[in-house]
Structure 1
């Protein structure tokens, strides 16, 4: 049987406000807009990191048709509490990235800490999604 090539092209997260998320990911973290398309009341909004243009991060609203209104409200609450698994942004210098992001207005929940043979820090986006900023091991 012939092997079929597969890649993950989009990974989505739920955000409370797509404009607010767009300003955060583009304006503060340095991502770029990949797709911004509206179909009826549904907005398909994705961003990508300039160093990784083939992988998109979807900034999606929990809403019909993907979930019903009750579920959408529950998802908003769960995300706001920081209950979703963290995303990981790998950098070559965690302390320098922390400085740059802090200067851009990113609020950290954990300052850079050396442990496990690396350095990491934590922050959350305006919707509550958690991020780990991890220095790549050499």
Structure 2
């Protein structure tokens, strides 16, 4: 079976504000403005991945959600608990400096992790977490392969 991710949805409080951030601060390309009835959304793509779309959508785009559900979604967005995207970059520090210079809200300055990854994080205007990561030169190979033995947790019996 062969497949790849082509689209994901990110809930945002203010579509125009989110669009400005992703387009003007991050340099994303607008693919489509769409909508029906009173709901609208925008599809955007990272510059290096034109075939991958991120749909920026308001909480009311969740069809069948009650007003209480929509309110809960809005609360989760505001707390940074609902949306999280991770982007790979060739230079975490340069990416951090460029985005920070726009006044974007910094969540984490660039740091090295024990697994050989350097990353930083920002919040978009709705509170969604955006991480920017790049491997460091001493990154261990942690990929699983078909020959990697599966780890089985110890029995609790």
TM-score, reference length from structure 2:
0.79
Q: Where do 5+ consecutive residues of structure 1 fail to align?
A: none
Q: Which secondary structure does the structure 2 equivalent of 1:52 belong to?
A: coil
Of 34, 47, 65, the residue aligned with 1:37 is: 34
Q: What count of residue pairs does the alignment treat as equivalent?
A: 135
Over 3 Å counting, the alpha-carbon distance change for 1:92 and 1:17 in structure 2 is same
Q: Superposition RMSD on alpha carbons, in Å?
A: 1.7
- Tell me what 1:122 maps to: 121
1:23 offset after TM fit, Å? Answer: 0.4
Counterparts in 2 of 1:22-101, with a 5 A limit? 22-63=19-60, 66=63, 67-84=65-82, 86-101=84-99
Q: Deviations over 1:108-127 (max 9, x none)?
A: 11100112212111111111
1:132 maps to 131
Which TM-score applies when normalising by structure 1? 0.89
Q: Is the 8 A contact 2:30 2:45 kept in 1?
A: yes
Q: Unaligned 5+ residue runs, structure 2?
A: 138-157
Shift of 1:74: 0.9
Which stretch of structure 1 is more off in the superposition, 9-18 or 58-67? 58-67
The higher radius of gyration belongs to 2
Whether contact under 8 Å (1:120, 1:134) holds in the other structure is yes
Change (3 A) 1:74 1:134: same
Instruction: Tell me by how many angstroms 1:44 deviates.
Output: 2.8
**Structure showing the higher strand proportion among its residues:** 1
- The 3-state SS of whatever aligns with 1:53 is coil
SS across alignment from 2:73? helix
